Structure formats: structure tokens, C-alpha cells
Structure 1
């Protein structure tokens, strides 16, 4: 068996990219060049006058004419939710700044998915919903002005945690995302700068053939917002992310596929994803798989990535009620400097958040629908056990980490067929691996300043 797996991994290591790599990203972009200037529809560039209706009128007029370019005169534009349509390019040029309204009433509620659960939630600042052939481009800025939403979250969390309700805070504290692509195809996001997200910054949901190219995300301006993920790819396929630079306060580049009972019900994978030539600065993880894994995450290539001060470098995380499989993932040519943990793998991530238990004093029949979805048990329980397998990490260089590896499977689900090739990690502590099976290790150096070797426990076929 070991020889068979060795042959498989050697073939994979030397093989060219799979055919799907050439199919990722938007296959087309809007071609019509007719310009619809928002100012001609009443948008005022003073950063104070709410311009939502005027901008939306320009978008609607553009779409009615078969597409074109919606643009702005230089200045600042205060706006709530905008909804793009087929054939429209929203062009935010240098010198133009969209400012997100700080009033939740300017973000109408829609049916969507948040952190793995389908529910009602405020629309994003910029929305592409059920559309094809749409683009958001330009060298301008979208400043979501999310700080009031951060503050409302922390206030609610302070109230909820003593009641044993940590697991539902993120769903009750409604905060708008900055840019949402949902149920859409052939969407291009290019070169814009996004700042101060109220919640996730770019959310690609139930969509295919999406390109995110050259995005700069700066969420740690004026504070450190909770859950301000950079780019979330959620139950979507054929996605290309490249040349992006993210500084946020949660996962930087993240792949997701649903949570627990609701995620298993939807059962849509994230697959055929290429992430390349990107930088993560502050944030929870350079590249993260999960914690929402229910629909499975597979066929992913990530290459030429840099982490500079990120909390975790490569991160696979789930929970024992989540289910799904993370598999066929290849990560290569990655450098990390000053990260917390270089490689972290866990099936029991953040228990107070990951497991939903209704405290005494609540009647389940009267609960909101999203509470009921979170409390619905996964049955049989075995369906909730996640699996991580066929993971390759090659050409990884790590300097000044706090810990090299923290990898924990479980007795019910081993970490199978990981391959590490040409890996050099310098850390305060080498770390540990538990419940691994059949790891292939080639040219790996993991040195801890405490002089303790990497600890391998309850594993078979894992030798360093």
C-alpha cells in the first residue's frame, strides 16, 4: 500500500497542471463601451448625500440598453446596496471613492448564505445576484466604513457569551458584506481597493467562472473588525484569484462549503479553484479551508503565495458535526515570515463557536429559523465527521514562526496521504502531528528554537 501511494504522489509531483486549470476564471467580460455617468442621474460627489438611487438608476439604464460602463466623476459617493446586472461594467476610476452607508436600513435583506447557513441577511454594498457577464473594475476605492457594524457585533457578543450563545452571535449580529457574487457566472473583479468591510469583504457564493484579479483589501484601518475575511469562495467552482494583496482581521483567502445540517442539506462543493501570486498580511490564515466543509472542498491549486505576519499560514479547519471532505489540494512555492503557526490542521476548531447547544430558558419552537437550522442535529452522527486527505505542500519556506506544524486528526478520521516536499520551517516550536496516516516527507526541515523535535503521536506511516 505504501508503495502504491508513493507511486501516486511521485506521479502527481512531476505531472503538469490538470486540464481544469485552463478553465478557471471568467470566460467573457462585458464588451459594450457606452458610458452611463452616475452624475447625470443625480449622484452627488460630496460623500454625504446618499447616492444609492442615482447610481442604481444608471445601472438599470445601462442594463436596459444591453450593457455598457457605469462610471463616476472624481469624488466621494455615499451609497447603500447596489445591484449590478448582465452586461454591466461598474468602473470605479482612480480618484473615485464609494463610501458604504453606516445605516443598516440602506442594505435590504435578501435570501443568502452566511458562514455556511442559508438565511435572511442584509445585501452587500455591491451585489451581483443571479447574473452573467458582469465586471467591477478600476483603480478607485470602495470604503465600506464598517466600524459601526464591528462595534455592534462586539456589543452583542458581550451580551450573548455569558448566556452560552457564542455559537449564534455571528448570525444575529447582521453586518453587510462589501462585495457579493451569488448564483452568477462569468464575473470579473479587477484592480479595485476595498477597505473597512463590515463583515466579509468579497464573497463568491454558488457561482462559477469568476475572476478576482489585483484586488487590494485593507480592513485594518481604524481598528480591527471581527470576521472581516478577505476573499471567501463558497460552494463555487472554476474560480481564479490572482495578484491580490489582503490585510484583514480574519481569514485572508478562504474556501468554504456549508455548515453542519444545513450545509449537508445543500451539499454543494467548492472545486476547481486556482489561487496564485498573492500576499496576505494580517489575518487569520494565508489560505484557509473551512471551517465550513460540509459540501466538500476539492481540486484546488495555490501557488506563489506570501504570508507576512499572518496568524496562520496554511489552515485546514472543521468540526465533528460538519462533515465533508477536503481533498486533492496542491500548495506550492509559498513563503511565510513572522506567522503564528505555519501549518495548522484541526477537526475540532473553536468549539464554543462550532457546536450549537441551546441553553436552558429557551423554547425551540419560538426560535428564529436560522437558530433552528443551527440546532438541527446531523444524523447519523457519522455524517458529521470531516475528512482531510491527499494534501500536497511543496517548496515552502517559513521564517520566524511561533510554531511549525499543529496537525490533529481524530481516531474516527485520520489525516491521510499528506505530502511535504522541499519544506523548510524555522519556528520557536516545531509542533506536533496526531492521528496521521501515510505521510510522504521529502527534504523537510522543521527546526524549533526550543530544540524539541516535531512530535508525532497516534499515527502510522508518518516519519520525519
Structure 2
């Protein structure tokens, strides 16, 4: 688009009402007048030499199309019907991605097709492989369509389990595996309709983003109980050091955390300038059938606040999971869950110390704070109420559970002994559950 024309339209926006510009999602308030949208240029990769036969590697062709689209003023790169094999591709500012129904962008199983570079991984930066789809500073990005991002993850899972069999101390970072999508340093991003399938590692990693909408997407990877049918560390969405994130009408069945809120870790985490707080998160109208829980704070997370979860169904997963690290000063606050349905082996709470690979680095155990947590209007049947326990350095503030009527296989629950914990109208297996004031 002509730069002068674009600037003029921005100035005229309050007068024109709703103006459609590629990638822009916000609409000005006030009088809305009919305005013809600008026609966005489309670049069908099949028309530029890509072959959707699931065997030819199309990385260079697709990247050339992306680069050309950006050079010519932006537009939409289209993955049409077919299975297009590719290694890592890198989106550019002004370039959207559409995967049409029947279209598959299928990740290569050769790790060398994912270039290695400094990237954010597990709460810090280190050399690591790129994702299948990458975007840095791609404001107003739209990734849409009814197609599929397929990570071809099975060989990467088998490699991980093989290494762990040789050495039980093997960690994620010892075995390179590509993510499906990695979007960083970006504002006003929309990801809609996409099926994320069989990622080698995390599915969608959002780092230092603001204003992201993920809607009507599916996140799927095997979540069984044995290595042959379990995708290790196949998180659905990792919201890392990001703000104003909305996740709506999505489906999750993965081998690890469904939605994980992440930041930094370790005794100096509060000083990590690369890890601003995770704030203003909205999760609504989603279904969770396999994985760690509707929402997990951790395994690396420092400050998480203002999280609202509504109208979600948990089938066989935890409703709320807070990982409390003994080596990290964590602050989890203002988290609410309302109108939740549980089923299968679902557990209401999984709040407990998380000591995996922790390292105090010679420091004294840190102090952590969990407060203003509320769970309300829960129905259905599940496994248990779960557990609520902190580290010696964890302080709990207000924590309420109310209007719950569920059937569970294990009704044993020991209420925690802190003043802020309250139960109101909680019925389990037809019997009211109460909590006594802690002994003074």
C-alpha cells in the first residue's frame, strides 16, 4: 500500500468509521459508515512452484513467495489444498498466512531444515531450532483458514524417549525439537481456524506479544500414558511474558500443558528484564480433553495476574494447575474461573510444589505469593477435588471456591490451613464440604 495513502486513511478513520485494512483488527468508535475494503493481494504458493505431494521440500519456494509478498507491499500467502512439506519459514511484516481447507503445511522431519539461532525457550534465551512458522515484529498478523499445521512430530518424540532411556536425566533442552509456531515481539495478532497437529515440541509459543486473539483453533497431539502414544512437551499454547491475550472457542488434546502461562525462573527471576509479567489473559468457551489442565502457571513463571476463564469444559484434565517452584519468587494473583464443567478423570485443583530441575544457585529459598484466586459455578463428574499445597516460602491470600456441585471418585480433601481459604455452597457426592477456621 502507498505510504502516503495509508497515513491519510489513518487520519480519516474517525470520519470514515470502520475501514478495513489488511491485518488491522481494531475498529474506531462512533458512526460506522459503509466502506469498501481494500483488496488484499494473495499469493498462492502452488502458483509459484510449490508442490503439495507431501514429498517435495518446499521451504525455499514458500520463503521466496513470502519475501516477494513483503517486497510488493504485503498481502496474504495462501497454502491451498494439498500437503506441502517444508522446513522453517519466516513471516515478514505485512504478510499474512492463510491455510485453506484441505491444505496442510507439513513440517519436515529433518531437524537441519529448522535453522538454529538464539531464541526464547523455557524462560531464557539460548541457541535452539526455529519453529515451522516464525514471526518477529509482525504487527497486525493474521494466520487463518480451515487448514492444518502438521509438525510430523513422531520421529522427534521417539528421539526424545530414546535419549531419555539411555540417560534418565535427559531434559527437553538436550533433544532439539521444533515448535509449530513462534510469534514474538508483535501486537494485534489474530490466529483463527487453524488445526495444530502433532508438534515436535510446543504448538504455539507467544513471546512478548500484546493483543493476540486465538479463536476456533484445534491443538492435537497424543496424550496417552505410555511413550508410544504420548507427545512429550507438546503444550497447546505457551503465553510467555505477554499481555492482553484472548483464547476463545478452541479445542485442546495434547501431551502436556494445554495453556501454559510462562515467564522466567530461578532465584533472580524478578530481575529478568526479558520477562515482563503475564497479564490480562482471557480464556473462554474452550474444551480440554487431554493435557495438564485448562490453565497452568509454570513450569517457568514469575508474575501472572488478571486471568479470567469462563464457560470451559475439562474432560480428564486439571481445572487449575499452579506449579510452585522452590527456587523462584512467584506471584500469582487475580485469577478467576467461572462456569466450568468437568468430566472423566478431571481434577479441580493441582496446586503444589514443582521441583523439576530447580536450582537455588546458592541463594536462600525465595518468598512467593498466591492470592485473589476464585473458582465458581462448577458442575459435572471427575476424579477428585485435588490438592492445594505450597512451598515453605509460599504465602496464600484470598482463595475461594463456591457454587460447586460435582461427583468424584475420591472425595478425600484436606482444606489448607490459611485464613483466606473459603468454601461456599460446595457439594461433593451429594454432601456439603466445609472448612474449619485454622487453629490459632
**Local SS of the residue matching 1:133:** coil
Matched ranges for 1:341-380 at <5 A? 341-346=347-352, 348-349=353-354, 351=355, 353-356=356-359, 377=361, 379=363
Question: CA contact under 8 A between 1:415 and 1:435: conserved in structure 2?
Answer: no
Moved more, 254-263 or 417-426: 254-263
C-alpha RMSD of matched pairs (Å):
2.5
**Which of 29, 50, 57 is residue 43 of structure 1 equivalent to?**
50
Matched ranges for 1:57-456 at <5 A? 57-161=64-168, 165=169, 169-220=171-222, 223-261=229-267, 263-266=269-272, 267-294=275-302, 296-310=303-317, 312-346=318-352, 348-349=353-354, 351=355, 353-356=356-359, 377=361, 379=363, 381-382=364-365, 384-399=366-381, 401-430=382-411, 431-447=413-429
Partner residue in 2 for 1:16: none
Change (3 A) 1:414 1:454: farther
**Local SS of the residue matching 1:112:** strand
Change (3 A) 1:202 1:226: same
Structure 1 residue 340 displacement after superposition: 4.2
Structure 1 residue 178 displacement after superposition: 0.5
Partner deviation per Cα, 1:341-362 (whole Å, 9 max, x = no partner): 221111x12x3x2424xxxxxx
Structure 1 residue 397 displacement after superposition: 1.5
Change (3 A) 1:378 1:28: farther
Which has a greater percent of helix?
1
Structure 1 residue 32 displacement after superposition: 5.4
Change (3 A) 1:155 1:413: same
Distance 1:118 1:454 in 2: 46
Distance 2:375 2:321 in 1: 12
Structure 1 residue 66 displacement after superposition: 1.8
Question: CA contact under 8 A between 1:402 and 1:427: conserved in structure 2?
Answer: yes
Give the gaps of 5 or more residues in structure 1. Answer: 1-24, 357-375
Q: What is the TM-score normalised by the length of structure 1? A: 0.81
Partner deviation per Cα, 1:150-206 (whole Å, 9 max, x = no partner): 111112222332xxx35xx11111111101111111111100111101011111111
Change (3 A) 1:460 1:245: farther
Partner deviation per Cα, 1:9-43 (whole Å, 9 max, x = no partner): xxxxxxxxxxxxxxxx9845996511112123321
Structure 1 residue 287 displacement after superposition: 1.7
Distance 1:262 1:65 in 2: 45
Structure 1 residue 441 displacement after superposition: 2.3
Distance 2:340 2:243 in 1: 23
State how many pairs are aligned.
Answer: 402
Question: CA contact under 8 A between 1:404 and 1:426: conserved in structure 2?
Answer: no
**Local SS of the residue matching 1:432:** coil
Question: CA contact under 8 A between 1:414 and 1:435: conserved in structure 2?
Answer: no
Structure 1 residue 233 displacement after superposition: 0.7
**Local SS of the residue matching 1:285:** coil
Question: CA contact under 8 A between 1:244 and 1:277: conserved in structure 2?
Answer: yes
Distance 1:435 1:58 in 2: 61
Question: CA contact under 8 A between 1:404 and 1:425: conserved in structure 2?
Answer: no
**Local SS of the residue matching 1:301:** strand
Distance 1:97 1:26 in 2: 26
Q: What is the TM-score normalised by the length of structure 2? A: 0.85
Distance 1:86 1:28 in 2: 18
Structure 1 residue 282 displacement after superposition: 1.1
Give the gaps of 5 or more residues in structure 2. Answer: 1-22, 28-36
Moved more, 424-433 or 244-253: 424-433
Question: CA contact under 8 A between 2:326 and 2:391: conserved in structure 1?
Answer: no
Higher RCO by CA contacts (8 Å cutoff, separation 6 or greater): 1
Partner residue in 1 for 2:14: none
